[in-house]
Amino acid sequence: MAGSTPFFMCDEKLPIEKYAKYLFLLPCLIYVFALTIFPSAYSLALSFTSWLFLRTEQPTFIGIGNFVELLGDERFWVTLSNTLIFVFTAAALELIIGLALAVLLSRETGVHKVLRAICLTPMIATPVGIGWIWRMLLNATYGPINRLLNLVGLPSVAWLSDPSTVLLSIVVIDVWQWTPFVFVMLQAAIQSLPKDPFEAAQVYGASKWQLFRYLTLPMIAPTMVVVYLLRLLEAFKVFDIIFTTTGGGPGYRSESITMYTYYITMKFWSLGYASAAAYTFYAIILVVSILLFDRIRRRMR
Amino acid sequence: MSKKRKSLRDLIGSVVSYTLILILVIWVLFPFYWAAMTSLKSPAEWLTSTLIPFLQFQPTLSTWIQAITLPEVLHALTNNVIIATSSATLAIALGSPAAYALARFRYERWKNKDIAIFILSQRMLPPAVVVVPFFLMMNWFGLLDTQIALILVHTICNLPFAVWILREFFLDMPKEYEEAALVDGCPYLTLFLKIVLPLSVPGLIATWIFCFIFSWTEFLFVLVLSYSNSITLPWIIASGMHTRGIEWGLISTHTLLAVIPPIIMAQVIRKYMIRGLALGAVR
């Protein structure tokens, strides 16, 4: 694939022209180095130190002390399990609902363009604002969702203050926000499939289910994997929505890892410990990142 | 007979799909509708589940007027515009030469693919990892609570993305003009500024809007790096106007105020938007 794209030749040029290809790339790489590679390396170094900002002048090296403390910190484990439950439930629901919608709505309809435009809105809306809106919708006494439940004879649920439903509520918000994305992506994938295999299969009397199971599904599987991994990776960073819906509560039953590190940083000012927590979290999601980038690399031009 | 049955089937099929579309649209838009209605209610009615204006409640614009005349909201809006515009422009300025280089030159030691993947992978770094170092860096340089700090940080969030989308865009561009110019001995910089950039205006605008929207809605770094001078609309929204209890109407108004510009801008670049969100994954 890469071989089909001829590149420019750089010889027979002014001396500076020889370096043009590096000079074009350099500003970007310097910026990336200064604001990502350096900070993350610095943070890694900090994770082996103890530093109470504003109270102690300098970080002191304590080896793996932070990591040991982290493993014994109940709050870390709760936030980690919260994050994992949230991420895998939300991504799975988004994939299933998104796929169902994409298959059922795979035919081009008159309102298609409008539908896509509408589907874009939740994912570009300011997440902190979305958190507030959903806090109104899920309000135990006045919220329309409980009103709807009452209407069909079900009791009200204290969505955001009951420890047993709070994570589910956050999942619902994420599903609301990102299912349209999965739907739009998978629909595009289905519409770009070649028509011939489907026509051939129909001639031989294949049922709709068979068409889906043995043609559509295997052909869009690679896209599904990428979309799924992308959703996992983005969902791991969840912060804004939880911040305005529950603030991590009740207790820390809906706190995500990112919130946990935020609180350690900005409330306890324990910078070394916060870095250690962030890096432990990073190590966990690195697996997902590597899987995703492997897929992207293979499909790259 | 079979023809009739087929057309009946088609009819059922389209009834089903239009019903689904309707449910989907209501599901997606209802929260926005709810916020809009709350913003039009008087404070006493903020926490009531009335739905239809005029019939169930008397709409009023008083919350809107109150919301946009608050000096801190205007201040935050100005910050939003300044920060989003500058960081999007900076991301394009740094990203477009790199994207062009990755699309047109061939690198030997590290292959083009590796460099592109390396740049994109920086976007995947969880923000939690860089919160502490960013805070310390801005503290050292005395940039805490300044717009510059947020511009720099939002640019680094957007840069990998900008390089990635623009690279795709340059790859799709025909090379004839550039080759002709090179034969005439045109230097690369002139070639890039005078020929490539003017030809790629649509891609540049799309990418710019993408970066703008990200910066406009970003919250975590705004929260960590600012407390009064450089606060943005998401900061205001999150703070919740707690002085007299939660002021739902004001929050709804601010949320809509923050949500409307990205939605309008996104419609302009809908086609690129989806591709961009997918990081080119569909191709």
Please tell me whether residues B38 and B140 are part of one structural domain.
no
Does A143 share its domain with A248?
yes
- From chain A, pick out residues whose CB is under 8 angstroms from the CB of B28: 118-119, 121-122, 176, 180
Query: Any residues with CB less than 8 A from the CB of A191 and at least 6 apart, and which?
Result: A106, A108
Q: Which residues contact B221 (CB under 8 A, 6 or more apart)?
A: B127, B131, B134, B150, B153, B154, B157
Q: Are residues B80 and B54 in the same domain?
A: no
Measured between CA atoms, the residue of chain A closest to residue B164 is: A300
Instruction: Collect all residues of chain A within an 8 Å Cβ-Cβ radius of residue B252.
Output: 132-133, 136
Q: Closest residue of A to B210, CA-based?
A: A124
In a domain, B282, yes or no: no
Domain assignment of residue B204, given as a range? 69-277
User: Using a CB-CB distance cutoff of 8 angstroms, which residues of chain B are in contact with residue A301?
Assistant: 168, 171, 283
Instruction: Please report, as a single letter, which amino acid is at residue A189.
Output: A
B283 found inside a domain: no
* A133 and A23 belong to one structural domain: no
Q: Do A137 and B34 touch (CB under 8 A)?
A: yes
User: Is B81 in the A-facing interface, judged by CB distances under 8 Å?
Assistant: no
Out of B159, B240, B263, closest to residue A124 by CB = B263
Minimal Cα distance from B152: which residue of A? A35
| Alpha-carbon gap: A217 to the closest alpha carbon of chain B (Å) | 15
Whether residues B95 and B27 share a domain: the answer is no
Residues A122, A32 share a domain: no
Residues A125, A42 share a domain? no
Of B95, B104, B153, the CB nearest to A8: B104
Model pLDDT, residue B279: 57
Same domain, B186 and B167: yes
- CATH number of the structural domain spanning residue A278: 1.10.3720.10
What is this model's ipTM? Answer: 0.85
The Cα–Cα gap between A290 and A278 comes to 18
Number of domains in chain B: 2
Please provide residue A60's backbone torsions phi and psi, each rounded to the nearest 5 degrees. -110, 135
Shared domain for A110 and A218, answered yes or no, is yes
Assess if residue A58 is contained within a domain: no
A136-162 residues labelled b (16+ CB within 10 A) or e (exposed) = bbbbeeebbbbeeeeeeeeeebbbbee
**Model confidence, pTM:** 0.87
Joined together, the tokens standing for residue A215 give 């043609």
Exposed, middle or buried by CB within 10 Å (0-12, 13-18, 19+), for B185?
exposed
Are A8 and A109 within one domain? Answer: no
Taking CB atoms and an 8 Å cut-off, how many pairs form between chains A and B? 303
Check whether residue A10 and residue A127 sit in a common domain. Answer: no
Instruction: Report the domain count for chain A.
Output: 2
Which residues form the domain of A17? 2-46
**Is residue A274 included in any domain, yes or no?**
yes
Domain shared by B205 and B75, yes or no: yes
In chain A, what residues touch B122 (CB-CB under 8 Å)? 32, 36-37
**Do residues B142 and B235 both lie within one domain?**
yes
Which one of B11, B42, B60 terminates a domain? B60
Lookup: tokens for A301: 């031009």
Same domain, A113 and A38: no
With respect to residue A187, please indicate whether it lies within any of the assigned structural domains.
yes
Q: What's the gap in Å between the CA of A164 and the closest CA on chain B?
A: 23
pLDDT for B1 equals 47
pLDDT (tens place) for every residue of chain B, 283 residues total:
456 666 887 788 788 888 888 998 999 999 999 999 888 888 777 777 777 777 777 788 888 888 888 888 899 999 999 999 999 999 999 999 999 999 888 888 888 888 888 888 887 788 888 999 999 999 999 999 999 999 999 999 889 888 988 888 888 888 888 888 888 878 888 888 888 888 888 889 888 988 999 899 999 999 999 988 899 999 988 887 555 667 888 888 999 998 888 888 888 777 676 666 665 443 3
Instruction: Tell me whether B128 touches chain A (CB under 8 Å).
Output: yes
**Is the domain of A19 the same as that of A159?**
no
**Under 8 Å between Cβ of B217 and A122:** no
- B45 and B144 together in one domain: no
Question: Using CB atoms, which residue from B102, B119, B252 is nearest to A32?
Answer: B119
- Residues A122 and A217 both lie in one domain: yes
Distance between CA atoms of B11 and A289, rounded to whole angstroms? 45
Chain A residues within 8 A of B12 when measuring between CB atoms:
none
Return the exposure string of B138-176: e unless at least 16 CB atoms fall within 10 Å of the residue's CB, then b.
beeeebbebbebbbbbbbbbbbbbbbbbbbbbbeebebe
Residue A44 has a CB neighbour count (10 Å cut-off) of: 16
Q: Does A287 reside within a domain?
A: yes
Of B146, B157, B127, the C-alpha closest to B220 is B127
Burial (CB < 10 A; 0-12, 13-18, 19+), residue A14, is: exposed
* A220: closest chain B residue by CA: B282
Whole-angstrom Cα distance, residue A161 to residue A169?
Answer: 10
User: Of the candidates B252, B219, B245, which has an alpha carbon nearest to the alpha carbon of residue B150?
Assistant: B219
| Residues A21 and A128 both lie in one domain | no
- Cα of B66 to nearest chain A Cα, Å: 18
Query: Is residue A6 one of the residues assigned to a domain?
Result: yes
Instruction: Give me the residues of B, 159-218, that contact A with CB < 8 A.
Output: 159-160, 163, 168, 171, 175, 178, 182, 187-189, 192, 213, 216-217
- E strand or H helix at B2: helix B2-39
Element of type H or E holding A232: helix A217-236
Quote the tokens at residue A177.
Answer: 């926000």
* Cross-chain Cβ contact A278/B129 below 8 Å: yes
- pLDDT of B274 reads 66
Q: Which residues contact A13 (CB under 8 A, 6 or more apart)?
A: A20
Query: Scanning every residue of chain B, which has its alpha carbon at the shortest distance from the alpha carbon of A247?
Result: B238
| Domain contains A200 | yes
The CA distance from B62 to the nearest CA of chain A, in Å, is: 19
Instruction: Copy the structure tokens of residue B111.
Output: 């292959």
Give the sign of the dihedral formed by CA B232, CA B87, CA A46, CA A55.
negative
Domain membership of residue B217 (yes or no) is yes
Length of chain B: 283
SS3 annotation, B183-210 = HCCCCHHHHHHHHHHHHCHHHHHHHHHH
Question: What's the CA gap between A87 and B29, in Å, rounded?
Answer: 24
- Give the DSSP letter string of A90-140: HHHHHHHHHHHHHHHT-S--TTHHHHHHHHHHHHHS-HHHHHHHHHHHT-T
Q: In three state form, how does the secondary structure of B129-149 look?
A: HHHHHHHHHHHHCCCCCCHHH
Domain termination residue (choose one: B37, B60, B83) = B60
Whether the upstream peptide bond of residue A250 has omega within 30° of 0, thus cis, is: yes
Residues 6 or more apart whose Cβ sits within 8 Å of residue B226: B144, B145, B146, B149, B150, B232, B235
Is any Cβ of chain A less than 8 angstroms from the Cβ of B17? yes
Residue A57 domain flag: no
Q: B122 and A32: CB-CB below 8 Å? A: yes
Domain assignment of residue A196, yes or no = yes
Same domain, A120 and A255: yes
Residue A207 to residues A204, A271, A293, Cα–Cα distance (Å) = 9, 60, 36
Best residue of B108, B119, B124, B253 to probe chain A, by most A CBs closer than 10 Å: B124
pLDDT at position B126 is: 86
Nearest C-alpha in B relative to A191: B282
Q: Which residues of B fall within a CB distance of 8 Å from A122?
A: 28, 31
**Strand A60-61 and strand A49-50: pairing?**
antiparallel
- Contact between chains at B171 and A271 (C-beta distance less than 8 A): no
pLDDT (0 to 100) of residue B267: 80
CATH label of the domain that carries residue B118:
1.10.3720.10
Q: What is the pLDDT along chain A (301 residues), one digit of tens a residue?
A: 344 444 555 445 556 667 888 889 999 999 999 998 999 899 898 889 888 887 777 888 888 888 988 888 899 999 999 999 999 999 999 999 999 988 888 776 677 778 888 888 888 888 999 999 999 899 888 888 888 888 898 888 888 888 889 999 999 999 999 998 898 888 888 888 888 888 899 898 888 888 888 999 998 888 888 888 888 888 988 999 999 999 887 888 899 999 999 998 888 888 889 999 999 989 888 888 888 888 877 777 6
Residues B126 and B144 in one domain: yes
Task: Look at residue B263 and tell me if it is in a domain.
Answer: yes
Q: Which of residues 246-275 of B touch A (CB under 8 A)?
A: 248, 251-252, 254-256, 258-259, 262-263, 266-267, 270, 273-274
Do B41 and B178 lie in a common domain?
no
